[in-house]
Structure 1
Amino acid sequence: MKYLLFTFLNIFTVCSSHTAPKQTTTSQTQRAERLEPKELSLTWEVLEEKYQGKNQTLSVLTFKNEGKKPLPATGWSLYFHSTPSFKTKDSDAPVKTEPINGDLLRMVPTASFKPLASGATVRVEFVAAGQILNESRAPKGFYLVWDDDKTKGHDLPSVTLVKPAKDQVGWIKPQDIFAQNRSIKDLPAQQLTKVFPSPAQYKETGQSFNLTAAVPVIADNAFQREATLLAGHLETIFGQKPAVQAPGAAGKAIRLQKKAGLGPEAYELEVTPQGIVLSAATPTGAFYATQSLKTLLPPSALAKKQASVAVPGVQVKDEPRFGHRAFMMDVARNFQKKEQVLKVLDLMALYKLNVLHFHFNDDEGWRLEIPGLPELTQVGGRRGHTLDEKNFMQPALGSGPTVDASSGSGYYTKADFIEILKYARDRHIKVIPEIETPGHARAAIKAMDARYERFMKEGKKAEAEQYLLRDLNDKSVYRSVQYFNDNVINVALPSTYAFLEKVTDELLAMYKEAGAPLQTIHYGGDEVPNGVWEKSPVVQNLLASNPSLKNVDDLWYYFFGKIAAMAKARNLYVSGWEEVGLRKVRTNGKLSYVANPDFVKENMHMDVWNNQGSNIDLAYRMANAGYKVVLTNVSHLYLDLAYQRSYEENGLYWGGFLDVDKPFYFIPLDYMQSMRVNDDNQPLTSLAAFDGKERLNPAARANIVGLQSPLWSETVKTPERLEYMLLPKILGLAERAWAPDPAWATNPASAESKAAYTQAWSSFVNVLGKRELPRLNYYSGGFNYRIPTAGVLVEKGQVQANVQLPGMTIRYTTDGTNPTMKSKAYTGPITKKGMISFAVFDAAGRMGRVTTVENK
């Protein structure tokens, strides 16, 4: 019987195989007759700004069939990323757009779409809200989905973005950059302060020390870790690691010694012909002394292996102005690998930044493995084309249809995170993890939905509901700033607090295993939209059972009160964005925010970013009310903002533009005096916006605990782009957070202060161009910092050029080609007629953007 069955199956298989080609389905035939997705090219171009006299933009998307088979009239969709306002101009257009969620949209053919034949094109015009100043707001991440297999997304070639034919938005001009650079003087290298950031006291003696690999590092027992790290750096210079020894040895040496009476981060550094002495009361102070020694060494020392290095003779006494000097790294929107995080920590340590605010989750991703909650990273840490988000998240920010193929996916294992914590600990950097709550939590919500479904299939209802983050019967309607309608945790659910306790306890365990300090966790708290929780049954039950809760607004204080209690029980304090410490006040139907007195006593620390519009003075209002405030002002410290108002400068611009000067001229204790330009980068002609605004009370100055620069990663998809947006802007923050309050900041409007500022600015950019950026060509593997664009002025038949960072070289051509390292260096005004192209080059041969002008 088995034999007969086997024979029958073989015969059936052979017959089926033999006759299969005759049974080709209609669907298979259709697939064979349509173009390959990779053969559909797209080109996008802005046609008109202020279209119809409104704050909107008219653009055109051109489809071209580069293949030999047609794109059918129906049966497909194009998914892409843009604002939901991106819609076709004409009602009878061949396609229409449909918002899905967040920035993900779908484009489908209408009845007027005709098959796109080989070589054919079709143009579709679109209207979208706002102006498009650069490519950051262009539609991106296009991929195709066939209707007969809606679960599969097919990559298209990257959309070609065409620069608008004419300037309709007022891009920065070469002469504008020239004017900005005009006050900068090229200072002799010997005049520059050779320790960075600028120390409190600094004196050069003229008596240098000859450093070689044979010079040992002799360190007090308490400073052995710092000595070992310093010796490791010297090995990159000499090719040989200096010996690290305990105290007692005589002779020339680098000595790390204890000295009582210095502050916790203070140090002294002295270089004489007999050696180098680094003094501190704590390991932290000793570490900063070693970092100052690194910047004291010539930057060229890292370019190739050295036999010896002359260390300038100096006497330095130094300590930081602020105790909290932070960089916020967003790895949720786009992921950065562990190695890049370690590299960022190297950079932070060199410039004495001591807090990494680690933004590891948001709507678009959860990036940290939490033991016991595998869905957080399996679902929340991965993005790709999906119809239900049960296995991974939908694409966002142009991450594409393929899971694990872009920076949209990725996470740190527990071992990765512990390694990061140890690395930061050794460099005296505190890592503050951020758990975004209750808004910006879509990745966590979707992950816990997947967990719920898994346990429900197993018949384990209690386990399924243990960490659920939303009310399954909630009918509330809302839309977040980033266009999501399902990204807010329900704060009335007991399971919400069980989830946060679980994540908090697992974080504490990781920090303990790493031997890293943890005094606070950042619990987010920003941008919860109107409409949230209003139609949630569990919320209504909570309001009905708790007389102290009058409406959904009161749930804010209920939630963060419970969070504060949870943190306090674990010997932590709460950090958050400013909304955590604000209370809603409605007067005659108008909503405003005031500092909430209830949480002041809870030792909550606020990162205050919003200094726009009516909130110009918000940070000072909160500090005056008693909150500890970290200034995170969007106007001067948001690194993800584009450097300049230029089409070629990618980056966001909703909060203005941020070049290297803005963090440098930021005045922390009177920052309204720092507000020189508006969001369009135009000089402020009126100070009326500051009238009646609250200033920082002298008694509240101690409540300004530090400064922070965030780098949100919506447009940051690669390590190179991260470094470009980070550097050199972060060096302005490092200077302002560490260095003493400059004299020019006391009365910046006076002629004397303006002259002092001009001198200080020249010194700063000379240090960057001649010392720190050349150092960063090699330090920690080298950094992809931004090289400035040349300023160019055509006037009276002459062409003049200048540069923001002296020490870099301007080169030019007159033959229509782009400059190269072999092109002629600019040394003075050019009288040749015609088109002249300029570019700035650094010492390593990398170039900035090309500027072309005509000398008529």
Structure 2
Amino acid sequence: MSFKLTALASVIALAVTGCASQGSLEQNVVNNLAENLDVNYELVTNHGANEGLKCQELNAEWASCDLINLTLVNNGPAVDSKDWTIYFHSIRMILDVQNDQFKVTHVTGDLHTLEPTDKFDGFAEGETVVIPYIGEYWTLFENDYMPRAYVVSGDAKPKTIKSTDAEDPSAYLTPISGDNWKRTPDDNNVLATAQSRFEKNNDVNLIAKEELAGSIIPTPLSTQLTGDSISLAGGINIENEAIPGSMMVALNDRLEMLGVNTEGQYAVKVTLDPTRFTKEQKIEGAYQLDVREDATYIVGYDYQGAFYGMQSLIALMTTGDKNTVPTVKITDAPRFDYRGVMVDVGRNFHSKAAILRTLDQMSAYKMNKFHFHLTDDEGWRIEIPGLPELTDIGSNRCHDLSETQCVLPQLGSGPTSDNFGSGFYSKQDYIDILMYAKARGIEVIPEIDMPAHARAAVVSMEARYKRLAASGDMEAANQYRLMDPQDTSNVTTVQFYDKRSFINPCMDSSVAFVDKVIAEMAAMHKAAGMPLNTWHFGGDEAKNIKQGAGFQDINSADKVAWKGDLDLSQQDKPFAKSPMCQQTINDGIVADYDHLPSYFAERVSQLVADQGIANFQAWQDGLKYSEDAGAFATDNVRVNFWDVLYWGGGASAYDWSAKGYDLIVSNPDYVYMDMPYEVDPEERGYYWATRATDTRKMFGFAPENLPQNAETSLDRDGNGFASKGTAEYKGFYGLSAQLWSETVRTDEQYEFMVFPRVLAAAERAWHKADWEVDYKAGVEYSQQTNFVNKDALNAEWARFANVLGQRELAKLDAAGIQYRVPVPGAKIENGRLQMNVSMPGLKLQYSTDGGDNWNIYNHDAQPVISGDVSVRAVSANGLRFSRVTSL
């Protein structure tokens, strides 16, 4: 018996040793590859269909595909093992691999795997391996290549490949070159170069500071300079009879930031008097400002107006303790009730501190609605008491194939949760944000996106289901389940997720979940003293993209060359194979599967109304199968209108307004701040709607007469388009600028994308310019019409740009905002360097030695240049720089 026990112990010991050895071998493979594999992406061509690639046969949407060389260099010891997998992020579906030693598999979203095949013969020490692959569509900006590929082997700890662990994509890619910056060979966009920037900026000259006196952002209704100026060097003394205490604290914080003494002698008297305003001026937020030698007098139509009057006085100031302001009389009122900013923290998280800084700037520029996109496929970012899985799992991204500890990595977050791919706001964080916003006159509108873009929620509630089911409590397990376990629908979402991206609209447990979340959010708002007045349902993109117009059935007899071949018989509408939804349709509750998202929106609106919330808001496509605004239970129904103008949005906006919806202009081609600033592959952003939206383009947007924009701007390929509306104009409710965060992984990147162009959105939301033509149904605009006073538009932009460059950017610096410093224009003429910048007032620098030494550019003494020269612009405080460009 003793012998048997000893023998058994020896067997166990050998087994344990063997397992340890195997684990050690696997970890060695991971460590070697992660440390030593040099990864490089090089775009060969964006124009695959034009160059003989079989895009159509490879199922590429619109038969468009590109060719990329993925190069792996082994800078370490040889690797013979085939037991490894590289997980990497690609925002384009990979259709084919042209190296038979490797295969690529799509996992979910942008996550793919690269694995060796049976033909893999190892990575020799120092070996270079090229893996050409074909991707769908095109790759036009360098940030399409996401960082943080990582290696997995067996049960070893996954590790990020060191060469890809960088926010600057130049670390792991070859710059996009040749004509690959073009979407198609006949793309008519103008590539941003030093010379093209110089030509674009050439009509924006430096304006003397004296001529800018009285110019503030956003522009008031009426400004009358009275000829003098007042020194505030001795400080001010605010005699407030109108503004609530918490809002005064916010104003004093801004004054302190600008270096203004608030315990001085110069009197600022703030009162309320609605009788002082004309009938047309009796608008929430209206004010009068009278800066005199003896004192400044601010009269608000309401307390919000008094607050804005103080913000306008502050807008006249500069940074520093030697402030002078002009004597001036201002009468002012907002253009739109809704002046908004949307920030997506679902795709990538952004810190509470960054959100608070944004609220500060929104308040300073009189924006009053903060649309907080708190959830998406890639992350759930708000603590909900009673549903801990939403943040324990749904807010974290890491390598867990079971997704019971976290959701899978996306968008360059890599295998660990120690970056902005993960994160959430605690209940107290959210209450703090609400209180901070309230003190700045801003309503916070939470968005919990559904029924699509809900993968983080669905996965979290599946983990909850498994936990409770394992304990035998099936009633609790099913209480908040969001997917029909028998749904076998084959669906691909816009960002390549499957059916687990959708909350099932036919399940009572889905309704219970939404009701629970609304109730908990409403409780947080109540605790903050900011009642939840608006619920944002989301509602966008509840569809299967494989059923879109860019595909044709593989067996079709009438094929066209510009569509991808696909077996459409294998594609389903969302929920089409859910027995619960089949029953809902069979019972006649809903007409068909297309109507399910709008049906769910109507159902949720009743929950919202039952909670006493007056306003229901959504992306307009989520409501498109409802009859009109009367189909919903709340007092008001608001839509963020996001149709692209050159795809018909210039007409459809007026149709939505005619159906009784409060329309919030949110067009991607003009006010999406995740689009690049300019046509340059080194810029950040997605570009499906436009190749560029800089501050000037956003400033020139006409939000009420949408067809007018066809006369002053181009489509995404740099071509003109025609636009006209047919429905009568019933008035729009507001304007909102959006930041989606797929390419925005850090707070610095976030502020770079938002600022300074959001100030142009604030301008258009508050002030209707004289060059904006009134909308008339049936009037068509294009590059051939001449309805718009472009001289007036350009003159107003020049003034706005000078106020930015000479005053406002310095305030952003003082607030710690990491705004984008514009890349300057430059050219050499007759051997002399000429430089300019889109925001005059910023200093410019040049280098003739590759950037080792920088010289200040003097406009009046253009330097003689021979050879190459590099140029850059400098932030207002002199501490940061634009991207460097060369001639």
Same-fold call, TM cutoff 0.5? yes
Counterpart CA distance in 1 for 2:175 and 2:314 is: 43
Counterpart CA distance in 1 for 2:111 and 2:379 is: 15
- AA paired with 1:810? L
Query: Equivalent residue for 2:85?
Result: 77
Query: Equivalent residue for 2:188?
Result: none
Query: Equivalent residue for 1:455?
Result: 468
Q: 1:208 to 1:13 in 2, by over 3 A?
A: farther
Moved more, 184-193 or 433-442: 184-193
Q: 1:118 to 1:294 in 2, by over 3 A?
A: same
Query: Equivalent residue for 2:866?
Result: 833
1:351 to 357, 365, 373: 365
Counterpart CA distance in 1 for 2:15 and 2:90 is: 48
Q: 1:99 to 1:293 in 2, by over 3 A?
A: same
Q: 1:50 to 1:457 in 2, by over 3 A?
A: same
Counterpart CA distance in 1 for 2:675 and 2:652 is: 21
- Structure 2's unaligned 5+ residue stretches are 52-63, 165-170, 183-190, 545-572, 776-780
Runs (4+) of structure 1 exceeding 6 A deviation are 12-24, 594-597
Counterpart CA distance in 1 for 2:859 and 2:119 is: 57
Query: Equivalent residue for 2:297?
Result: 277
- AA paired with 2:424? Y
Query: Equivalent residue for 2:434?
Result: 421
Q: 1:13 to 1:154 in 2, by over 3 A?
A: farther
- AA paired with 1:765? A
Query: Equivalent residue for 1:662?
Result: 697
Moved more, 223-232 or 764-773: 223-232
2:845 to 811, 814, 819: 811
Counterpart CA distance in 2 for 1:44 and 1:444 is: 34
Counterpart CA distance in 2 for 1:36 and 1:279 is: 68
Question: Contact (CA 8 Å) 1:195, 1:296: kept in 2 or not?
Answer: yes
Q: 1:479 to 1:459 in 2, by over 3 A?
A: same
**Structure 1 residue 550 corresponds to structure 2 residue 584:** no
Matched positions, count: 807
Question: Contact (CA 8 Å) 1:818, 1:837: kept in 2 or not?
Answer: no
Query: Equivalent residue for 2:824?
Result: 790
Counterpart CA distance in 2 for 1:84 and 1:580 is: 25
Deviation of the 1:116 alpha carbon:
1.2
Q: 1:533 to 1:752 in 2, by over 3 A?
A: closer
1:710 to 722, 734, 738: 738
Deviation of the 1:764 alpha carbon:
0.9
- Structure 1's unaligned 5+ residue stretches are 244-250, 585-593
Deviation of the 1:795 alpha carbon:
5.1
Equivalent residue runs for 1:238-387 within 5 Å: 238=259, 242=263, 252-261=266-275, 262=277, 263=282, 264-298=284-318, 300-301=319-320, 306=321, 309-387=323-401
Moved more, 831-840 or 801-810: 831-840
Question: What SS class does the counterpart of residue 163 from structure 2 fall into?
Answer: coil
Query: Equivalent residue for 1:110?
Result: 117
**Structure 1 residue 570 corresponds to structure 2 residue 606:** no
Question: What SS class does the counterpart of residue 835 from structure 1 fall into?
Answer: coil
Counterpart CA distance in 2 for 1:544 and 1:77 is: 46
Q: Percent identity?
A: 32
**Structure 1 residue 49 corresponds to structure 2 residue 46:** yes
Question: Contact (CA 8 Å) 1:645, 1:681: kept in 2 or not?
Answer: no
Deviation of the 1:209 alpha carbon:
2.9
Deviation of the 1:19 alpha carbon:
13
- AA paired with 2:84? W
2:812 to 776, 793, 799: 776
Counterpart CA distance in 2 for 1:539 and 1:474 is: 9
Deviation of the 1:568 alpha carbon:
1.6
Question: What SS class does the counterpart of residue 620 from structure 1 fall into?
Answer: helix
Counterpart CA distance in 2 for 1:323 and 1:115 is: 64
Equivalent residue runs for 1:53-202 within 5 Å: 53=50, 55-67=64-76, 69-83=77-91, 85-90=93-98, 92-146=99-153, 148-149=154-155, 152-158=158-164, 160-170=172-182, 171-192=191-212, 193-202=214-223
Deviation of the 1:716 alpha carbon:
0.7
Deviation of the 1:757 alpha carbon:
1.2
2:767 to 732, 736, 739: 739
Equivalent residue runs for 1:580-599 within 5 Å: 580-583=622-625, 598-599=631-632
Equivalent residue runs for 1:630-641 within 5 Å: 630-641=664-675
Query: Equivalent residue for 1:626?
Result: 660
Query: Equivalent residue for 1:671?
Result: 706
Counterpart CA distance in 1 for 2:122 and 2:364 is: 59
Question: Contact (CA 8 Å) 2:220, 2:331: kept in 1 or not?
Answer: yes
Deviation of the 1:80 alpha carbon:
0.6
Deviation of the 1:66 alpha carbon:
2.1
Question: Contact (CA 8 Å) 2:285, 2:308: kept in 1 or not?
Answer: yes
Equivalent residue runs for 1:724-763 within 5 Å: 724-745=752-773, 750=786, 753-763=789-799
Question: Contact (CA 8 Å) 2:345, 2:381: kept in 1 or not?
Answer: yes
2:448 to 435, 439, 460: 435
Question: What SS class does the counterpart of residue 112 from structure 1 fall into?
Answer: coil
Counterpart CA distance in 2 for 1:696 and 1:773 is: 41
2:229 to 208, 214, 219: 208
Counterpart CA distance in 1 for 2:175 and 2:12 is: 56
Moved more, 393-402 or 206-215: 206-215
Counterpart CA distance in 2 for 1:323 and 1:447 is: 37
Query: Equivalent residue for 1:248?
Result: none
Question: Contact (CA 8 Å) 1:744, 1:756: kept in 2 or not?
Answer: no
- AA paired with 1:494? D
TM-score (norm 1): 0.89
Counterpart CA distance in 2 for 1:615 and 1:750 is: 21
**Structure 1 residue 603 corresponds to structure 2 residue 639:** no
2:480 to 467, 472, 483: 467
TM-score (norm 2): 0.86
Question: Contact (CA 8 Å) 1:492, 1:542: kept in 2 or not?
Answer: yes
For each residue in 1:378-416, what CA deviation from the matched residue of structure 2 results, as whole angstroms up to 9, or x when unmatched?
01110000111011100010101012x111110000000
Deviation of the 1:598 alpha carbon:
3.9
Counterpart CA distance in 1 for 2:675 and 2:145 is: 16
Query: Equivalent residue for 2:414?
Result: 400
Query: Equivalent residue for 1:445?
Result: 458
Deviation of the 1:785 alpha carbon:
1.1
- AA paired with 1:229? A
Question: Contact (CA 8 Å) 1:155, 1:401: kept in 2 or not?
Answer: no
Counterpart CA distance in 1 for 2:510 and 2:622 is: 17
Q: 1:352 to 1:597 in 2, by over 3 A?
A: same
